[in-house]
Structure 1
Amino acid sequence: MSAASLFFSWKRHALAHDQERRRRPALVPDYLEGYYSTGETTSERTYHIRIAVRNTSDSANAVARIELGISYRLIDGTTVAARIPAAEIQRENDFSVPRLIEAHETVAGWCRFVIDTRF
């Protein structure tokens, strides 16, 4: 009798552990496509990137901000890193933040990052 009780107790513990693991926030970003454009009269380059964000957890979550991370190495070996925030929304299919993503939902949209080419 005690062996069966121990077995079922262990199974309940394992099930509760799995349920708790599925509740943890887990947003997965995916790159879908992208291109860049340059300004005719300005020294800006705009990167247009379409992303999808999947919520793989059993709980709702949200995207608070979107940044483009750029890192490069100078001739002397120094590494430079920059984070460029997404530009303001201009079109209906742009990815808006903050954005709520329900459990097991995927949302997609375009992000734009404007970089001065003199940078």
Structure 2
Amino acid sequence: MGDTGSIAEIASATAAWVALLLSIGSLWYARKAQLLANQKEERLNPKLKLYVQDSFVKKSKDTQHRTYSLLLSVTNRSDANNSISEIDLCIIYTSPTGTKLTLRVRNDSCTQHSAQGSTNSINIGARLDAHQTLIGWCHFNVDGAILKNAKIENYKISITDSHGHEAAETLTLIREYSDETVAQKSKI
């Protein structure tokens, strides 16, 4: 009878160790599965990347009206589709009285512009599929009287997606665009 008691003790101890090893293995696999699920969830979070490829401002000679044109590259770095809900240009300037102000201008997608011969533009509502890049011009119209005698400090272009997340880029200088054919005619 002593042998059966010790065999039962050995069998139960072996079963306990096997159960412990199986539970440790299950715990390890469950942790790995949770990490993979977290990584997948993270990849679904909206992530737009904004890059300014080119920019210029064109001033009208009569009214001092300014049209800011920016060639943007917007990349959706997530695994989820997205879209653009807002495109804004902030002009940070100092007024003639010395007050620092910010002028926020919404993208003018209704006006047709020809930016150096290009007609493709990025508009509000543009769809960005997962891992897609969208390249196009954005145009912003500003009344010249607002910025008259002001010192422009810098510019900030921001794009807000349909989830409310913002991607922004700061510019310190935007070159002035002039019609070279008009300039050459005046030289003749």
Report the TM-score, using the length of structure 2 for normalisation: 0.59
Give 1:49-88 correspondences, 5 Å limit. 49-74=70-95, 78-87=99-108, 88=110
Q: Is the 8 A contact 1:33 1:49 kept in 2?
A: yes
Q: Tell me if 1:98 matches 2:119.
A: no
Runs (5+) with no aligned partner, structure 1 = none
Aligned to 1:30: 51
- More moved, 78-87 vs 42-51: 78-87
**What SS is found at the alignment partner of 2:50?**
strand
| Structural RMSD (CA) | 1.7
Report the TM-score, using the length of structure 1 for normalisation: 0.90
Q: Is the 8 A contact 2:107 2:123 kept in 1?
A: no
Aligned to 2:139: 112
Aligned to 1:43: 64
Q: Is the 8 A contact 1:48 1:112 kept in 2?
A: yes
CA displacement at 1:85 relative to structure 2: 0.9
Q: Give the count of matched residue pairs.
A: 119
Instruction: Find the structure with the greater CA-based Rg.
Output: 2
CA displacement at 1:75 relative to structure 2: 6.6
* Runs of 4+ more than 6 Å apart: none
Provide Cα deviations, 1:66-108, integer angstroms capped at 9, x if missing partner.
1101223447664311210112241531212211100000001
More strand by share: 1
Runs (5+) with no aligned partner, structure 2 = 1-21, 114-118, 147-188
- More moved, 97-106 vs 38-47: 38-47
Provide Cα deviations, 1:31-80, integer angstroms capped at 9, x if missing partner.
11111111132221111100011000000000012110122344766431
More helix by share: 2
